[in-house]
């Protein structure tokens, strides 16, 4: 493409977003004249969604949740890292101020971040971030080494990473203290599949996981 063609293309893709926005806003007004009045009044989401930044997994669309029903945080490979102030701030705000009832950590099969983590090469700035996935492999090395086939291995690593991120969520003071007082939020681990568009519930046992970590990570006082 020539420079002028690239410029035209970029303008068209940019303008398309605003066209869609105007159409969406009008559609909401047609359905409910008070939609934006209610939306501007504040938020009381039931869910905190911690997902991957992958552009193919829009949380609200795949779950049917409406605007105002999910507080959303996304990062590469849906990691919950204790020294990442972004995700820690999101969890703290969602739990202590919005009082969400559910926290969902949602990964997806075919995750590029998981595959990159297992690539034996220097990935620069990504190294410290993806090391968290390598640590998951280390924790479950015996099981993973026994899996035949690369696709099956990566799928299982995706699941195990989601479970470990759920454990990291439960380790936080905000979640422990809120659960002790209110019996919520409850933490869930899900995985999205591109091949069928369905969510798989990994059946994370919040109560059992909480008891399992509190010998070392108890922050309820």
Q: In this model, does residue 111 exceed pLDDT 90?
A: yes
Q: In this model, does residue 11 exceed pLDDT 90?
A: no
Q: In this model, does residue 62 exceed pLDDT 90?
A: yes
**Which residues are identified as catalytic?**
52, 54, 56, 108, 111
- This prediction has a pTM of 0.94
Q: In this model, does residue 8 exceed pLDDT 90?
A: no
Say what the pLDDT of residue 7 is.
83
User: Rounded distance, CA 205 to CA 201, Å?
Assistant: 11
Say what the pLDDT of residue 6 is.
83
* Mean pLDDT for the stretch of residues 37-56: 96
User: Rounded distance, CA 6 to CA 3, Å?
Assistant: 5
Say what the pLDDT of residue 3 is.
82
């Amino acid at each position: 493409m020539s420079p002028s063609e690239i410029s035209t293309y970029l303008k068209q893709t940019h303008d398309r977003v605003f066209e869609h926005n105007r159409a969406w806003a009008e559609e909401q007004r047609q359905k409910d004249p008070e939609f934006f009045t209610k939306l501007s009044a504040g938020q009381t989401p039931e869910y905190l969604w911690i997902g991957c930044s992958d552009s193919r997994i829009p949380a609200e669309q795949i779950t049917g949740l409406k605007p105002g029903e999910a507080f959303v945080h996304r990062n590469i490979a849906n990691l919950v890292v204790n020294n990442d102030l972004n995700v820690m701030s999101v969890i703290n705000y969602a739990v202590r101020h919005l009082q969400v009832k559910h926290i969902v950590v949602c990964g997806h099969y075919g995750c590029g971040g998981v595959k990159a983590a297992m690539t034996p090469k220097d990935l620069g700035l990504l190294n410290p971030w993806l090391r968290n996935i390598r640590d998951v492999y280390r924790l479950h090395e015996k099981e993973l080494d026994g899996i035949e086939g690369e696709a099956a291995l990566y799928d299982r690593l995706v699941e195990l990473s989601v479970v470990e991120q759920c454990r990291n969520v439960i380790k936080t003071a905000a979640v422990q203290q809120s659960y002790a007082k209110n019996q919520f939020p409850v933490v869930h681990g899900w995985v999205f599949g591109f091949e069928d568009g369905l969510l798989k519930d990994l059946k994370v046992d919040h109560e059992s996981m909480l008891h399992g970590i509190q010998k070392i990570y108890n922050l309820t006082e």
